[in-house]
Amino acid sequence: MMTIEAKAVFHTAPREVALQTIELPPPGEDQVLIKAHHSAISPGTEGMIFDGRFPQELAQDATIPSLAGSFAYPFRYGYALVGEIIEVGANVDKTWLKRKVFTFHPHQDYAVVAIGECLPIPDGLSPLDALFLPNMESAVNFVMDAAPLLGERVLVFGQGVVGLLTCELLARFPLASLVTADPVASRRELSKCIGASNCIDPNDENAWRDLQDRLQEDGSGGFDLVIELSGNSGALNRAIEMTGFSGRILVGSWYGNKRADIDLGGHFHRRRIQLLSSQVSTMNPLLSGRWDKSRRIALAWHWLDVIKPGRWITHRFGLDRCMQAFDTNAGQKEAAFQIIFDYQDD
């Protein structure tokens, strides 16, 4: 059987990517061939990987078959690809042909994957909105792990794609207040438009003092729940400072090989603050009796249809401009929000 040539983006060195041609085997009995339409660059995670700021010894992601390798150069990375199934293996139902699907896969124009790795895009949902499935699943996971309560005061650090999706979900809860923080002015304005009562510049000391004064005036002494999604490990000390007695800090950021100097000797100790880790690859064991990843994915599809985040796409590149795409993601934080690759016209 004939092999298939595919064009794929490889990370070849820190801050260097290149388009290379690879050979794919024909689909096996339980596999399909996908012709890609779009893939999305994860602004935070892939920005860190582009910079080379990742633990060299760490596996990419053992839970995703296409990311089962290591970070040894050259390597492929990416986990948001949508396309159309154009060939199926012998054991795959022929009704999958021509189906639009999402798969967790690096950036390349053709992909051979197991049918079990394909998630059919719900009817009526735009493929551009479907690109945000990993981000939405992460946002759903953070909210489920954070478990906000009626009337709580909530602070979210970071209003990138995942931060905004998390804010969109939290804005629908009956909270006492929802405050966000981000250094980019355009993101702060967008955050307020989607439901945050206030979004402050984390570098503005006056804004933090004003916020603390208001918390003292209403007798709360701090936030009940703080969610750290900025990717800036330095935000943890501010989070501790802003959290009230017996409050919770949920860390959803991945810091790669960055290390944080965290002050655990003051407010953290006296206020009995809880520091929680949240990551989307697994489910909270407290929920696993009733929830699994398929149920969480179904919920993420629903909220993608409600929120329609495809409107946040700011830049679109052909695969042959991959270096420009990653440079833009790294250097234009004010203008570049979500960057995608287009493989063909819709």
pLDDT at 346: 42
pLDDT (tens digit per residue) in 60-82: 565 666 666 778 899 999 999 99
Class of domain 135-277: alpha beta
Share of the chain above pLDDT 70, in %: 95
Share of the chain above pLDDT 90, in %: 78
Q: Where are the domains of the chain?
A: 4-126+309-342, 135-277
Query: Is 3.80.10.10 the CATH classification of the domain at 4-126+309-342?
Result: no
* Cα torsion angle, 181, 135, 254, 147, sign: positive
182 and 199 in contact (C-beta within 8 Å)? yes
Listed range (46-55, 79-88, 181-190, 307-316) with the worst mean pLDDT: 46-55
Q: Cα torsion for 183, 184, 187, 189, to the nearest 10°? A: 90
pLDDT (tens digit per residue) in 187-224: 999 999 999 999 999 999 999 999 998 888 877 789 99
pLDDT at 66: 66
pTM comes to 0.91
Identical fold for domains 4-126+309-342 and 135-277, yes or no, is no
